[in-house]
C-alpha cells in the first residue's frame, strides 16, 4: 500500500524579491513529490504520480514548468516520476482538492498568522522519513527557525 503524505511549501516573499512565489513553491513541491515516488519504488517497479491542482490563473505556466522539469530537471535534479503534466480541476467538484485547500489553509495560518490550531491537526500527515519532514518546506533565510520543517532538517544533520 502506498503511504499518504501531504506536500506543501510556505514561501516568505520578502526573501525572494523578483521571484514568483507560486513558481518557487511549485518547483519545490514537484521535486519533493518526485523524491517520494522514487523512495517508494521497489524492485524496479517505478512509481509514477500525477499532480492534481485547483483551477488557477497559473495553469498554463505550471503546466509548462512541469514539462520543463521532466525534460530539463529542477535545481535539485531530474523529475522522472511524474506521469503527466498537472491536471487542474474545480475544487467545488472534487473532494480531494477540497482537502488540499484545507491543508493549504492550515499551512497559510501557521506561517502567516502564527495560528497552529488547524496545522497541529495535520502536522503528522506530511511526508516524512527518518525523522525528516520532506513534505513540508519553508522557504526563508532564518537559520534559527523553529517550525517543524526547519527543525526536522536541522536535527537530522
The domains of the chain are located at 8-156
Asked if 141 and 16 count as a contact pair (C-beta separation under 8 A), the reply is no
Q: How crowded is residue 138: how many other Cβ atoms within 10 Å of its Cβ?
A: 22
pLDDT of residue 47: 87
pLDDT of residue 1: 59
pLDDT of residue 2: 63
- For the chain, residues with pLDDT lower than 70 are 1-2
CA angle 36, 59, 108 (to 5 degrees): 60
Closest CA to 10 of 155, 153, 157, 148: 148
Amino acid at each position: 500500500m502506498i503511504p499518504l503524505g501531504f506536500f506543501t511549501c510556505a514561501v516568505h516573499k520578502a526573501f525572494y524579491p523578483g521571484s514568483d512565489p507560486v513558481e518557487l513553491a511549485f518547483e519545490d513541491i514537484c521535486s519533493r513529490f518526485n523524491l517520494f515516488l522514487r523512495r517508494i519504488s521497489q524492485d524496479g517497479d517505478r512509481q509514477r504520480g500525477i499532480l492534481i491542482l485547483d483551477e488557477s490563473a497559473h495553469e498554463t505556466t505550471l503546466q509548462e514548468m512541469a514539462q520543463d522539469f521532466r525534460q530539463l530537471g529542477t535545481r535539485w535534479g531530474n523529475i522522472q516520476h511524474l506521469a503527466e503534466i498537472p491536471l487542474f480541476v474545480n475544487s467545488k467538484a472534487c473532494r480531494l482538492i477540497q482537502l488540499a485547500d484545507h491543508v493549504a489553509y492550515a499551512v497559510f495560518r501557521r506561517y502567516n498568522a502564527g495560528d497552529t490550531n488547524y496545522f497541529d491537526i495535520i502536522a503528522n500527515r506530511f511526508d516524512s522519513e527518518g525523522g525528516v519532514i520532506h513534505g513540508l518546506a519553508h522557504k526563508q533565510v532564518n537559520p534559527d527557525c523553529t517550525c517543524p520543517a526547519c527543525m526536522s532538517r536541522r536535527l537530522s544533520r
